[in-house]
Amino acid sequence: MDRYSRQRSLVNQKKVESARVMVVGVGGLGSASATLLAMAGVGELLIVDYDTVETSNLNRQILYREKDVGKMKVEVAKKRIEEINPHLKVNAINKKISKGFKIPHGVDIVVDGLDNFEARFIVEKASIESEIPYVFGAVEGYMGMVTFIDKNTKRLRDLFKNVPRGDEQVLASTVMLTASIQSMEVIKFLSERGDLLRNRLMVYDGLSTNYMEVRF
């Protein structure tokens, strides 16, 4: 039995292990997605963030500990991800998402771990220009959303009339659930399996335990 023996019939492990996945933002969503993708055996993770770990991150950002407060997130995240799976390559990019952001050559898919739409629009644009899919995710309170965007789907501007900054309250449970769905989309895409969330926004509300799909 090897490390991936319990998932081999579920995924195209060879493709997963040769994939380069970029996680933009390693806060709540990004920490969880990076963890799940590392466990699944993604070949290379490129993690992007410019922030340092704060005490208020620790209720939901699974890669960080109290002793990490004040340290660069990408450096701590790289170390933890390599502990989770030492067989993958982790490329830590200490950078703020700003206009002109480009997706490095060879990346297969981009995962959203961002906390604002200004940066999301930049990453979405860069992804579309590079013909690389982008898995949007967002959270607030008990509520999460996910969709899969590529050059043939609707874009973020089509999904929302306006995008104000929302409430900053959020639970780890919401983050984990949302990032689980995002990382599952990545695995499905890499494995060429299943029905991706193209032109469909998945919305989950944990308080009412209601799920819905909004088609576009």
Partner 1 sequence: MKIRVRYFGRFAVEIGTYSEVLDVDTNLKVRELIALLKRLHPELKNEILEVSIDGKYACDNMVVREDVAVYPPISGG
SS3 assignment, position 71: coil
Instruction: Identify which range of 9-17, 95-103, 126-134, 143-151 contacts partner 1 by CB under 8 A.
Output: 143-151
Q: Indicate the DSSP class of residue 43.
A: S
Residue type at 27?
G
C-beta of 20 vs 120, nearer to partner 1: 120
Q: Which of 114, 187, 190, 197 binds partner 1 (CB under 8 A)?
A: 114
Q: Indicate the DSSP class of residue 1.
A: -
| CA atoms of 24 and 98, how far apart (whole Å) | 12
Enumerate residues 187-216 that contact partner 1 by CB under 8 A. 201, 203, 205, 207-208, 210, 212-216
Contact between residue 112 and residue 97 where contact means Cβ atoms under 8 Å apart = no
C-beta of 12 vs 199, nearer to partner 1: 199
Does residue 165 interact with partner 1 by CB under 8 A?
yes
Does residue 121 interact with partner 1 by CB under 8 A?
no
Q: Which of 62, 107, 142, 150 binds partner 1 (CB under 8 A)?
A: 142
DSSP line for 65-86:
-GGGTTSBHHHHHHHHHHHH-T
Sign of dihedral through CA atoms 65, 66, 68, 72? positive
Residues that bind partner 1 (CB under 8 A): 25, 27-30, 112-117, 120, 137-145, 158-168, 170, 201, 203, 205, 207-208, 210, 212-216
